Structure formats: structure tokens, C-alpha cells
Structure 1
Amino acid sequence: MDDTARRAIDRALMPLVVSTGAWGVVDAHWLPGPDGTPVVWLRTRTEIERVALEAQPWVEAQVRVILTRLSVDYPIVARTRFEITSLERQRNLFGDGLPA
């Protein structure tokens, strides 16, 4: 994956947060997976919000549409994985070092 694709994914994060904010999403980030394919992470405040968002059938499509609109090439979009976590879950896992 080249720098242009990385920058396009970076630009897609804010629109992803804005478009899913009503479902409790407070931020997003991405990291390359083990094979270099992007993994996009959406983070909600609570576990209840995470479970509700994960149950929505449109979430994966929303991620892919926004990536496509912001010029991420289709072969990358097609292989991109996404995950949803919550601040609550991370606090329970890592302790209280995370923002409230």
C-alpha cells in the first residue's frame, strides 16, 4: 500500500466518525493488519453502543463507501477489515489510563 492510499484512509476517518456518531462512535483509527491490509477501528463510548452498532448490517458498507469516496483504490477497499471496540471495553482490559 502506497502513501497515497494511506493518506486517503487517514482522510476517511473523520467522515466515518461523523457518519456513525449518532451510534456512539467517538473516534476511529486504522492500522495495517498482519498482511498489510488496512484494519479500520471504530470506537464507541460504551459496550452497549458497540453491540448495537455491530448489529447494524449497514456498518461495513458505510466504511467501504466512505473509503471509496475518498479515493482509496477498490482493491484496498475490498480487502479492508473493520473492527468496533469501546472505551469501556478498553478501560476494563487495560485499566483506567484511557480518557473518560
Structure 2
Amino acid sequence: MLGNDFIHRIDKFKIPEEQIERFIAGVSETHLVIGAIDGCLRNEVLIKTSGDGEYNVITHVVWRDQDCLETAILHMKGHHDRHGGKPALPVGAIEDRAVYRSLLI
């Protein structure tokens, strides 16, 4: 059973330790833009501090609904096109990107 209509975009990254500061700087710039897009309800960049998980950086953005997410994707494509393209992942990095919905439990 689904909960609210909020859409959660969660991107997980495994970034080599020697490249993490540079990666975080780029992600932070991108998320400043994302946070200003209409419909963005929550915008977080998380870094792992402990645990056995494979990923060491996670971004979590909550959108009011699917339309807001789709608008944001188009906005960010335009932003990247105007600024020389989407930033490349560091060599050796692994990513896992997905969209989730809340469950009512």
C-alpha cells in the first residue's frame, strides 16, 4: 500500500577516498541548484561515517510529486548543457541511482 505522493530520488555512490573531497564539492554545487527548483521538499547530501555499507556518499531528494521530479530532470539537463555537460564520475567510482515512493505501514 502506497503512502503519500512524495517521490524520493536516492543516488548512492562508492567514491575512492582520495577523490571524495572533490566529488563532494561538485555534488554540493549541483544540489544548491536542485534545492532551488520548485517542488523540492528535502535535499540532502550524506557521507558515510561508519558501517559496512559499500557506498560512502548518498544524495536524497524528496519531490512533491512525479511532475516535479520530471521538471527537475529537464531543468538539470538544461543547467548541465549550459555549463559544459554533466560532471563525470571519478575513475573507479560506482553509482546506483533510483526513484522510490513511500509505503504506508
What's the TM-score, normalizing by structure 2?
A: 0.43
**Larger strand proportion, structure 1 or 2?**
2
Greater relative CO (CA pairs within 8 A, separation 6+): 2
Q: Which has the larger radius of gyration?
A: 2
**Larger helix proportion, structure 1 or 2?**
1
What's the TM-score, normalizing by structure 1?
A: 0.45
